[in-house]
Amino acid sequence: MEHRWSPRKPLTVDVVIHYPPLGLVRARSHDISLDGMLVDTGRILLPPGEQVELCFRPDENPGPYLHVDAEVIHTSPKGTGVLFRDYGPEVLLALKSLLLEGPDGHIAELCRIGQH
């Protein structure tokens, strides 16, 4: 059963994961939400429950990289699911902008977050 609070959006970007036992791990994202991200770490398996730090640029614009603390929630053949932890207002703003951007490039007027 999923316990997702916000909708997912397909997103393919390079992600660097800092996992202290291994150092830096290169990954590629599949999708993202306000809560977390699904990433492909290749042959490297990150155990559920581990704390990691993610670094990624949410779009192709030359803006700042986002740094987000996260927890590994699951690993499957589809990828590694991470849950974001304790991010600041600048990260929240960047994620909301990314997730709510409509096809015409404007922020969507209706937000499905929190609706049942």
pLDDT bin (cut points 50, 70, 90) of residue 115 is: very low
Report d(CA 36, CA 26) in Å as an integer. Answer: 17
More confident residue, 45 or 107: 45
Superfamily for the 9-100 domain: predicted glycosyltransferase like domains (2.40.10.220)
Distance of CA 69 to the CA centre of its chain: 10
> What one-character DSSP code corresponds to residue 101?
B
Tens-digit pLDDT profile for residues 59-107: 766 778 899 999 999 999 889 999 999 888 989 988 888 887 654 443 3
pLDDT at 116: 36
Looking at residue 61, what is its pLDDT?
65
Residues in contact with 13: Cβ distance below 8 Å, sequence separation at least 6, in sequence order: 28, 29, 56, 57, 58, 59
- Say what percent of the chain tops pLDDT 70: 80
- Token digits of residue 40: 């492909």
Higher pLDDT, 88 or 7: 88
Secondary structure of 9-53 in the HEC alphabet?
Answer: EECCCEEEEEECCCEEEEEEEEEECCCEEEEECCCCCCCCCCEEE
Give pLDDT, residue 5.
66
Radius of gyration of the chain (CA): 14
> If we measure between CA atoms, which residue out of 39, 34, 48, 47 comes closest to residue 4?
34
pLDDT band at 6 (very low <50, low <70, confident <90, very high): confident
Cβ-contact 39, 19 below 8 angstroms: no
